[in-house]
Structure 1
Amino acid sequence: MTARSVEQSDQVTEGSLDDLTLVSRARDGDTRAYEQLVRRYQGQMYRLAVRMLGSASDAEDAVQDVFLSVWRKLDQLNDDAAFVGWLYRSTTNRCLNLIRARKPSADVDLESTESAAGYTDPVRAAEVGAQLTALAAALLKLTAEQRTCWLLREVHGRSYDEIAGIVESSTASVRGRIARARAQLAEVMQPWQ
């Protein structure tokens, strides 16, 4: 390892580098740079996967597979700025493939105990937990494509154009899927309003 690469690796541990620099360094074989990218985005990808799959263990496996695959194919990324979109697309595609390969489970925990645990009033905590359980069940009743688009928009705050790129569809299709998902979820969640 040269003095310059040691210096660059030391900078990576500071966590102050932007994504473009980290992606570029990771493409050049800097594992510390890639580790920093993983730490930066694994939470977002996990939250997307657990909501799509309805299973924490399946989500962990899917995200691990995605980050391993992305590392192996990093040299195929033509634009460093497209890294985050590529992660979302890879995670979404991996989850959709898993959904297609199996029937979704009704036993879903969307971290409801953690979310409800923040309430000191036990009645309110139970109510929030029940709402989250109902939402998780309602999400599983959506088509995989509707669920994906809805999660990317409502939970991850992605634009319609970004979602269209991630799911490889038109913006109009994405808007339609989200509208149908919202309508179905509103109907199911009506008792909670």
Structure 2
Amino acid sequence: MQDEDASLLKAFAAGDNRAAQTLIERLSPRVLAQALRLLGNRSEAEDIMQEALLRLWRTAPTWQPRARVSTWLYRVTANLCLDRLRARCQMVSIDAVPGEMTAGDPAIIASLQQEARLDALRRALAELPERQALAVSLRFIEGLGNPEIAAIMDIGVEAVESLTARGKRALAAALSSKKEALGYADE
């Protein structure tokens, strides 16, 4: 399977720095967005993006196009994010606490509620088995189709469907007791 990214990667391996720049411009926004959605922290997402691209550069001289470059990079990014989530400390940084707040400010309340919802989702995802968490994240957060997820995870489409269905059920069960606290009681 040959794609334009693979051609650019091969050119980079041969010493073409412009090819590397083109790949960075093309792939880094997607890698950063994926890592940011999975981790919820821009600084950590940027670290993951750099590590994923470094791994791509190290692979360039021996690249074997068994998969598309973007598919390979999605897999590497997802694995790096899952490793980071496993290792992440459960401490809250003082920087995560909002500065000045006015009691009852609707914007502040909405912002805190959205952050609480995202945090609950990240925690629930972290509790899922790794393959379920990855399939659910790629399908419902990244918006990828089942065939693309199958390629990224190196499994069949039926396995993706099974993983996402089981993952959705597990997330629903994990989050059902938190509906009221997260502001979903009336929905």
TM-score (norm. length: structure 2): 0.69
Post-superposition shift, 1:58?
5.0
Q: After TM superposition, where is structure 1 displaced by more than 6 Å over at least 4 residues in a row?
A: none
Aligned counterpart in structure 1 of residue 60 of structure 2, from 74, 83, 89: 74
1:55-94 alignment to 2 at 5 Å?
A: 58-79=44-65, 82-94=68-80
1:109-124 alignment to 2 at 5 Å?
A: 121-124=107-110
Quote the residue 1:34 is aligned against: 20
Is this contact kept in 2: 1:52–1:144, CA < 8 A?
no
Quote the residue 1:149 is aligned against: 135
Tell me the C-alpha RMSD between the 2 structures: 3.5
| CA–CA separation in structure 2 for the residues paired with 1:108 and 1:37 | 36
Gaps of 5+ in 2: 98-105
Q: 1:70 to 1:173 in 2, by over 3 A?
A: same
Quote the residue 1:125 is aligned against: 111
Is this contact kept in 1: 2:48–2:77, CA < 8 A?
yes
Quote the residue 1:8 is aligned against: none
Q: Secondary structure at the match of 1:125?
A: helix
Post-superposition shift, 1:132?
1.4
Q: Secondary structure at the match of 2:68?
A: helix
Structure with the higher helix share, 1 or 2: 1
Q: Secondary structure at the match of 1:158?
A: coil
Is this contact kept in 1: 2:67–2:151, CA < 8 A?
no
Identity of aligned residues (%): 31
One-letter amino acid of the counterpart of residue 55, structure 2: S
Post-superposition shift, 1:84?
0.8
Post-superposition shift, 1:94?
3.7
Quote the residue 1:45 is aligned against: 31
Is this contact kept in 1: 2:13–2:61, CA < 8 A?
yes
Is this contact kept in 1: 2:6–2:65, CA < 8 A?
no
Post-superposition shift, 1:179?
0.8
Matched, 1:174 2:147: no
Equivalent residues, number: 167
Q: 1:30 to 1:81 in 2, by over 3 A?
A: farther
Gaps of 5+ in 1: 1-17, 114-119
Which has the larger displacement, 140-149 or 18-27? 18-27
Q: Secondary structure at the match of 1:29?
A: coil
Is this contact kept in 1: 2:132–2:163, CA < 8 A?
yes
